[in-house]
Amino acid sequence: MNAKTLILAILNFQEATGYEIRKMCTEGPYSYFVDISYGSIYPTLAKLEAESLVSSRIEQDVGKPERKVYSISEKGRMEFVGSLATPPALDKFKSEFLLVAMTAEYGNPTTIAKAIDMRIAYLEGQLEMIRTHTENCEHQGTCWVGGYGEHVMQCDLEYLKKNRGALMALAGTAHNVPAAAE
């Protein structure tokens, strides 16, 4: 999936400015699907508009700069639905925390504890965000995805809390650790 499909998905549900699309893709409910760079949003919107897949209008509020609001066209909706027929790529999960955990014997207990605490705080924040976005959920697909995400994050959090001691027991157990790693 690419920036084009993600932007069409967002506009399929609501009109939005480029800024709102960026915010939803980086911090909001669409941040879990595809990595999209800030620099690719506006060129993609321009291309979608040139292909008549989206349209835009200028809105002016008193005392505020004008905003360009995008909406999906019927042709864009058909393009979006057609793109869903392509099987999705496999999920990519990367975690710096897991590298720290895998090599915990080279870290000191303070560093490992801090990494665990940061991961727990991150997971709790993600759970809160998911719950906030789905608490008054009316769209069944969104509700399902929110429930799935909440389940995955909750399992991650529970495993980490249950097995924290085992990871902490590994901290600093390697022999011949360079002094700089302390």
pLDDT score of 28: 78
Q: Are the CB atoms for 71 and 64 separated by under 8 Å?
A: no
What is the SS3 assignment for 34? coil
Indicate whether 73 pLDDT > 50: yes
pLDDT score of 1: 67
State the residue for tokens 């991961």: 119
Q: Which own/partner pairs from 48-53 qualify as long-range (CB within 8 Å, at least 24 positions apart)? A: 48/4, 48/7, 48/8, 48/76, 51/75, 52/76, 53/8, 53/79
The model's pTM is 0.78
Q: Are the CB atoms for 146 and 137 separated by under 8 Å?
A: yes
Indicate whether 164 pLDDT > 70: yes
Indicate whether 13 pLDDT > 70: yes
Q: Are the CB atoms for 41 and 18 separated by under 8 Å?
A: yes
What average pLDDT does the segment 12-35 reach?
Answer: 87
Indicate whether 99 pLDDT > 80: yes
pLDDT score of 27: 80
